[in-house]
Structure 1
């Protein structure tokens, strides 16, 4: 038995931010990062709140790869101010931080048996990048700075009530951020499609989102002012988020969490570097019926984006090559070495990051069972070699 659930109302399109006009005389807390304040992106929200006499505070201490320390600060802010609205404005870090704040707020309320009034705020997520899909997922990734690891939290308590997908918020994103976050969307698509818990419902979302990524990501990368491309990519990110929160992910994300946290590499870039090698790994071997289900699914996905698909192998290799070509066009490194990771540091950390990836919660839904040795070998392939991309 499988489940499919979508709990978030999605408001999308140019000027979707006007949805906030419906709120009057409320108390709000805006969770964001310093850059969103400096660039006056948050002003598009506060202008509406000022006009509608909404009392608000801005918690802007979220850093990239938000830590538990920041989450606890935000939680104290919520407990103190008791907002009726919680608004997350920013990329995946800001939204993940707000989700974790919401999670612990509810947990504290439950532990107090309602003896202290901590109302559950109405939660609205406004993504400013097209990448994580965090605005519709039950996932939040928080970094333990002391142990230098990323810890995924999964709970439906964190799912936003409303996601506002206004492409205007993504217009000024630098091209390299567009590339890294956009390829993260593709990773969500590819992993959700072959996940153990994929279904007809998640497949349909992935197929549409994948087509839009291949069509519009290169356009948005070259011309950030192209609002059609921005809107389509924003929608694709959200569709992929709905898909993977229902289907799960796989070792691409497990290994990216470990690699990225250890070597301070962006999440999208970590995913992008690893993806071709992981597709190849998952496609190798056969099950008792004589074929590899993951390879068949990869080949089906290749068909949807118009790649050669006469055999399963042709489809898989076509998908791998198409991803590599897109990465080259956007200046994304092909290997971990090209990303600037020193060989000695990498080899010294290999055992540790492999063990972390194996224990990551995303590993459980990978279509193929993996061992620590398998993960180490994939990391080695991805460090400086292009062999292994056949099966």
Structure 2
């Protein structure tokens, strides 16, 4: 039996930010990173909030949200007794807001009627429509996935204006994250017709628009389409789950602070090869390649998968992304030889791993890590 729940109301397209004008006479906490506050981009939110509201900003957001930052955000929420929580920014801002809700709920200190609004300014995580948040334990350098329907945003706002000024490097990293979400959801154990349709459309948009969004800062259509691709992929994996690609990427981010989308991209081809040893999964990878326009209908499965991997390698090269971990610049080989065993152990505990279509063991993860170095 499949259960499909669409909890989040989505406002999309130009002018979507104006939906905030319905909030009046309320206490509002906006969580956003300091850069978006300094460059005044946060005014996209503030200018659309009615003057009758009491608005405060929490901008102590860090990448891969540390638990210490989530703790500070929780204190701020309790202090102002917020009725609306707005997460404005990339995945880190939205996940900090989600972590705040998750732990306050656990402590019994969350308003029952809290409205949670997620406004992504990058096109990658899909966090605005998922029940997952990733936070980091600074002491162990381990990323932990928090999974609960209680952290699903009430509202998601997809306004293309929020992505117009994204630097090319961010477009590249987040775009590869979209592709990974789409692809992993398509082959995940929980995949069904609903998630497949979402993943296929997301992948099709990535193929058509990611490179243009990267190369042409003024291509508003490409930026908007990638924003939608991110949302579709988020919906897909919220239904279907993810897999070992994300489980290993979480460790690479936690230990070496490699951008999440980049870590996913470096892993993709090796994970495809591993999972394709399972015949049914191989067929799904091939079908995905055909559906998103990379392979022809009459291509055999091996050729279709080859074209999928070729696209991944070529677009990474076009967007100047490192091909392996050693090119990332901050990974020492002597430390890698030791830390790969710790990362393997933590990968086996990761919340995304059960969704992988093929059973995986420690030795398999070690082999993948060795291949990507």
User: Which TM-score bucket, shorter chain as reference?
Assistant: over 0.9
> Are 1:332 and 2:331 an aligned pair?
no
- CA offset at residue 345 of structure 1? 1.9
Contact map agreement 1:105 1:120 (CA 8 A) in 2 = no
Which of the numbers 334, 358, 364 marks the counterpart of 1:368?
A: 358
1:236 paired residue number: 229
Contact map agreement 1:139 1:152 (CA 8 A) in 2 = yes
Which of the numbers 181, 197, 201 marks the counterpart of 1:204?
A: 197
Unaligned runs of 5+ in 1: 287-291, 384-391
> Are 1:358 and 2:325 an aligned pair?
no
2:294 paired residue number: 307
2:139 paired residue number: 146
Contact map agreement 1:249 1:363 (CA 8 A) in 2 = yes
> Are 1:260 and 2:247 an aligned pair?
no
Three-state SS of the structure 1 residue aligned to 2:48 is: helix
Q: Which runs of 4+ in 1 moved over 4 A?
A: none
1:64 paired residue number: 63
Contact map agreement 2:95 2:133 (CA 8 A) in 1 = yes
> Are 1:379 and 2:354 an aligned pair?
no
1:174 paired residue number: 167
CA deviation digits over 1:339-361, x for unaligned, max 9?
22222221121111111111111
Contact map agreement 2:17 2:48 (CA 8 A) in 1 = no
TM norm structure 1: 0.92
- Structure 1 CA distance, aligned partners of 2:81 and 2:217? 38
- Structure 2 CA distance, aligned partners of 1:343 and 1:147? 20
- CA offset at residue 107 of structure 1? 2.3
- Structure 2 CA distance, aligned partners of 1:9 and 1:41? 23
Contact map agreement 1:136 1:159 (CA 8 A) in 2 = yes
Which of the numbers 242, 251, 259 marks the counterpart of 2:244?
A: 251
Unaligned runs of 5+ in 2: none
Q: Show the 5 A alignment for 1:26-45.
A: 26-45=26-45
Three-state SS of the structure 1 residue aligned to 2:146 is: strand
Range that drifts further, 308-317 or 154-163: 308-317
- CA offset at residue 47 of structure 1? 1.6
CA deviation digits over 1:316-343, x for unaligned, max 9?
1111111111111001111111222222
Contact map agreement 1:142 1:153 (CA 8 A) in 2 = yes
Contact map agreement 1:82 1:119 (CA 8 A) in 2 = no
Three-state SS of the structure 2 residue aligned to 1:232 is: helix
- CA offset at residue 119 of structure 1? 4.6
Contact map agreement 1:216 1:232 (CA 8 A) in 2 = yes
Give the number of aligned pairs.
370
- Structure 2 CA distance, aligned partners of 1:337 and 1:307? 29
